[in-house]
A and B are shown apart, each in its own frame.
Chain A
């Protein structure tokens, strides 16, 4: 039975004011069941105040095989961090 159930990604907001964070994934027949299952699997120890569920197939992920062209070019460009500027003393909290 569970083989036929689609996979859902679960996002939980731990406290009011914080963002929803990815907690994990689980199987459910539909969105309503995904919410109920997420409640039982991920929030039974008082972990959350709000849950989002998204069917996993709706998440478009980058391909790990493309990590070379996607992310490596950024590795040697430290100058993109604003750490090389001399700030005048008048500018605070930077």
Chain B
């Protein structure tokens, strides 16, 4: 009985870590697509830097997850050999780089959440997760500063940049509520003092996002209809294409290493 409980907790912890790491993995991959395609040399490098930060974080999480699984799985297996339905990232991070306004809006809507999330994860009873959070938070503080800055610049910029940024915010808004949905793994880990109760981050999130939108002279979307499903593995059509690229090398040359 005792063993069974321990086994279940390990399973939940494993799923919980994937829930955190998949967001960074998929967003990192999206940003990586901009390598060599950013609007200017400077923003191109900035986006790739953020992407590399996220991949670095992902490695820490998946190495830990592989250790917990303890069945020979490696960080690469976990990152690259799951099927689409087994990825549990939020829908927000898989949305495409439609234009620079979308890229920055997606980044901003995620960064504000990510920073608040890591500030709480720092306090986790799980010392590995707490240590990873402490390391990541400096990077994410910069990401949040960078993307907030671009929201303000483009929102309070020219007529065209404002229209594009407003469109991006309006379109991506529908994916924000999912950030605060609890999974079963979340609930189990919150009760253990390991996980973050994301429902408690919601009010502060919208307050902060709205403040930035106001400075950017953008309208706060009024839509109350929100998309969800990513955390359960039900994704938008965009994820499949992203995974095809992400997984290509591992599937073509199984077990390859850099």
A interface, CB within 8 angstroms of B: 1-2, 5, 26-29, 32-33, 36-37, 40-41, 44
B243 contacts partner chain A, Cβ-Cβ < 8 Å: no
Query: B153 an interface residue at 8 Å Cβ cutoff?
Result: yes
Interface of B is mostly: helix
Q: How far is the CA of A2 from the CA of B43 in the complex (A)?
A: 11
CB nearest neighbor in A for B52: A44
B residues near A, CB below 8 A?
39-43, 45-46, 49, 145-146, 149, 153
Query: Judging by beta carbons under 8 Å apart, are A26 and B41 in contact?
Result: yes
Query: Which A-chain residue is minimally distant from B157 (CB atoms)?
Result: A29
Q: Are A1 and B49 in contact (CB under 8 A)?
A: no
What 17 new A-B contacts, CB under 8 Å, besides A36-B46, A40-B45? Answer: A1-B39, A2-B39, A5-B40, A26-B41, A26-B42, A27-B42, A29-B153, A33-B149, A33-B153, A36-B146, A37-B43, A37-B46, A40-B42, A40-B46, A41-B41, A41-B42, A41-B45
In the complex, chain A residues whose CB is within 8 Å of the CB of B49:
40, 44
- List 18 A-B residue pairs with CB atoms under 8 Å apart, sorted by A's residue number: A2-B39, A2-B40, A2-B41, A5-B40, A26-B42, A27-B42, A28-B42, A29-B153, A36-B46, A36-B145, A37-B43, A37-B46, A40-B45, A40-B46, A40-B49, A41-B41, A41-B45, A44-B45
CB neighbours of B46 from chain A (8 A) = 36-37, 40
**B43 contact set on A, CB distance < 8 A:** 37
Closest to B100 in A: A1
Do residues A27 and B40 form an inter-chain contact, with CB atoms below 8 A?
yes
| Alpha-carbon gap, A32 to B40, bound state (A) | 16
Contacts of B42 in A (CB 8 A): 26-28, 37, 40-41
In the complex, A1→B161 CA distance in Å? 11
Chain A residues closer than 8 Å to B39, beta-carbon distance: 1-2
Q: Closest residue of chain B to A1, judged by CB?
A: B39
Q: Which residues of B contact A36 (CB under 8 A)?
A: 46, 145-146, 149
Give bound CA distance, A72 to B40, whole Å: 41
Chain A residues with Cβ below 8 Å from B145 are: 36
Q: Which residues of B contact A44 (CB under 8 A)?
A: 45, 49
- Smallest CB gap from A37: residue in B: B42
B45 to chain A, nearest CB (A): 5
> Complex formed: what's the CA distance from A44 to B146 in Å?
15
